[in-house]
Amino acid sequence: MPLNPSRSRAKDRSSILGRPEFLSLNVPPQNNKSWRRAGPSKSQQNQSNENPVEPPDEDCMLLNPSFKGIAINSLLAIDICLSKRLGVCVHTSSSWGSVRSAVTLLALTGHGITWICGTLVCLTQSNTAAGQELLINLLIALILDVLTVAGVQKLVRRKGPWDMSPGFLDCVALDTYSFPAAHASRAAMVSKFLLSHLVLAVPLRVLLVLWAVLVGLSRVLLGQHHLTDMACGFALGFLHFALMETVWLSSGACQTLISIGTFSWGSVH
C-alpha cells in the first residue's frame, strides 16, 4: 500500500528535529505572560536605570579622537624618533663614540656647577665696582636658572630618550630629568647676558652664540635630552635673561651684598 507523501515528509521532519543539534528548535516559545512573569520587576528596572553597568576602560575605544590629540601624539613620536637617532654619542660603541669624551667636555662647559664656581672665583678677584655688579647679577641669574629648571623638571618628570642615569654633577645641580634641558637654558641665558653687557668683537660674539647652540646640542648627542627639551631650554634661558634685566641690582645693592658676604665669611673663620 503506498504511503501518503505528506505523512512521509512529516515523519522525516520529525526525525531530523529529533537529532541532538536540533533539540533547541523543539522548545516551544514562551508566551508573553510567562515572559512578563519571568522578567525583572519595576524596582529592579529602576535600579538598573539609575546605576547602569559601564564596560571596563580597556573595552572602550575612542572612535573619534580629536585633531589636537592626534597632532600632539604625532609630534611626540617624531621628537622621540629624531632624538634617538641623534644620540650618536650615548656609548663608546655608538657611531660617534670616538668623540664622546670631547662632547662630554663641551657639555661640562655649560654645567651649572662650572658657571657658579667660576663666577664666585671671578668675584673674589674683581676689584672694580662695575665688574662686581656684573658678576653679582650673573650669579643671581645662574642660581635662578638652576632653581627654576629643577622645579620644572620635578614637576614634569620626563625621562630622556635613552635609559641613562644622571651623573654626580647632575644630581648636585638638581638636573635629574629631561624636560627642560638645563644646559641649553643656562647657555642661552649666559650668552645673551654676556652679549648684552660686554663689548666683544664680532668673531667672539659669533663664537659665543655657536658655543650656546653646541652646548645644548651636546646633551642631545649624549642621549640625555630630547630635541623639544633643548628648544624649551633655550626659550627658558631667554626668559631668565629678560627677568634678570627687570630686577637688575644696582652697584650700591651689590656692594651691600658683598659686604654682608665678606662679614659672614670673616665671622665663620
Buried b or exposed e, range 36-74, using 16+ CB within 10 angstroms: eeeeeeeeeeeeeeeeeeeeeeeeeeeeeeeeeeeeeee
CB 184 within 8 A of CB 230: yes
183, 197, 240, 269: which is the annotated catalytic residue? 183
225, 226, 240, 269: which is the annotated catalytic residue? 225
HSE-up of residue 97 (Cα within 13 Å, Cβ side): 6
Whether 183 is catalytic: yes
Instruction: For 132-179, give the secondary structure using H, E and C.
Output: HHHHHHHHHHHHHHHHHHHHHHHHHCCCCCCCCCCCHHHHHCCCCCCC
Instruction: Enter the C-alpha cell of residue 239.
Output: 626668559
Whether 269 is catalytic: no
CB 111 within 8 A of CB 173: yes
Q: Tell me the CA distances in angstroms from 257 to 129, 135, 240, 252, 254, one per residue in order.
A: 12, 12, 21, 9, 5
**How many whole angstroms separate alpha carbon 56 and alpha carbon 169?**
46
Number of helices (H), then strands (E), belonging to the chain: the values are 12, 0
Look at residues 30, 76, 9 and name the one whose alpha carbon lies nearest to residue 229: 76
Instruction: Enter the C-alpha cell of residue 234.
Output: 633655550
Catalytic machinery residues: 183, 225
